[in-house]
Structure 1
Amino acid sequence: MSALKLKLDQDQLVEDFFDCTHLVGIVSAARDYQLCWQLNKQLFYHFRVNNSLEIKLTKHQRAFYFTVFEFQEPTKSVSHYLYNNHCKAEFLLPELKNIDYLWLIKGDYYQLQDVKKLTEELRRVELVQLVSLLDLRDIKNKVNLIF
């Protein structure tokens, strides 16, 4: 009797996870909890740390843990995730070393114009230095964002 081997289709996993998503890069010298507090206060979001979504990457026989904050908009069926892109000297997305935080908007309620409006609002947040809308097609390590 031969053993059945199942292989995870990473391309399909990535495609499914990033369906109806937008990604915003944020540069800020603030700690993640300080930035979330400011976003909650100034933009009226309710980001909270979600330890069950924390992302663990292992490199050079060391484990790195990347914090993920979450906010659900149940009336719009939209989820917001704020990822910390740094952990010690490692990066969740190494191709974006100049970005400190990644804001992923998941759900089909937000259109591109809504996300552009959000980026304008983010630029006015005191602790935010730079905001840019990111093109998911340009990101090589998207799989690192999947929890």
Structure 2
Amino acid sequence: MSVLKLKLDQDQLVDDFFESTYLVGIVSPVRDYQLCWQVNRELGYRFKVNNTLEINLTKNNRHFHFTVYEDRENIKSVSHYLYNNHCKAEFLMPELKHIDYLWLIKGNYYQVDDIKKLIDQVRKLEFVQLVSIVDIKDLRNRMNLIF
């Protein structure tokens, strides 16, 4: 009896996960919960930490846990995820060391103009120093964002 082996196509998994998504990089010196509190208060979001989405990486026999906050807009079928890019001097996305947080917007509702408006709103927040769109295709470690 022969055994059929199935191989997971990681490239297809990554492409499927990032279909209809936008990624925004945020530079802010405050803790993740403080940033989420301000985004929730000033912009009307409902970000909450989701421990089931926490991303765990192991590098050089050390374990790192990257917090993920989540907000869902059920009416628009859109999910928002705010990733902490730092953990104990390690980075979730090493190619974005200058970025503190990554805001992933997943769903078909928002268009580029909507994302630009969101960036303008986030840029006005007290604790935010820089906000910009990140091109997902340019990231080598995109797999790290998949939970």
Q: Is the TM-score greater than 0.5?
A: yes
Partner in structure 2 of residue 37 of structure 1? 37
Equivalent residue, structure 2, for 1:84: 84
TM-score with structure 2 setting the length: 0.98
Per-residue CA deviations over 1:73-114 (Å, capped at 9, x if unaligned) read 011000000000000011000000000000000000000000
Letter in 2 for 1:79: S
Is 1:20 paired with 2:20? yes
Give the Cα separation in 2 of the matches to 1:145 and 1:136.
10
Q: CA deviation at 1:3?
A: 2.9
Equivalent position SS for 1:29? coil
Residue of structure 2 in register with 1:59 after alignment: 59
| Alignment-derived partner of residue 11 in structure 2 | 11
SS in 2 for 1:105: strand
- Partners of 1:45 and 1:104 lie apart in 2 by 14
4+ residue stretches of structure 1 with deviation over 3 A? none
Please give the alpha-carbon distance, in whole angstroms, between the structure 2 residues aligned to 1:119 and 1:19: 20
TM-score norm. by structure 1 comes to: 0.98
Question: After alignment, is 2-11 or 100-109 more displaced?
Answer: 2-11
Give the deviation of 1:4 after TM superposition.
2.5
Q: How does 1:98-113 map to 2 (within 5 A)?
A: 98-113=98-113
Q: Give the counterpart letter for 2:64 in structure 1.
A: F
- Aligned positions of 1:60-75 closer than 5 A: 60-75=60-75
Tell me, in whole angstroms, the C-alpha distance in 2 between the residues paired with 1:110 and 1:37. 23
Q: Give the aligned length.
A: 147
Q: Distance in 2 between matches of 1:120 and 1:26?
A: 12
Give the superposed CA RMSD: 0.7
Aligned letter for 1:135?
D
Distance 2:135 2:87 in 1: 23
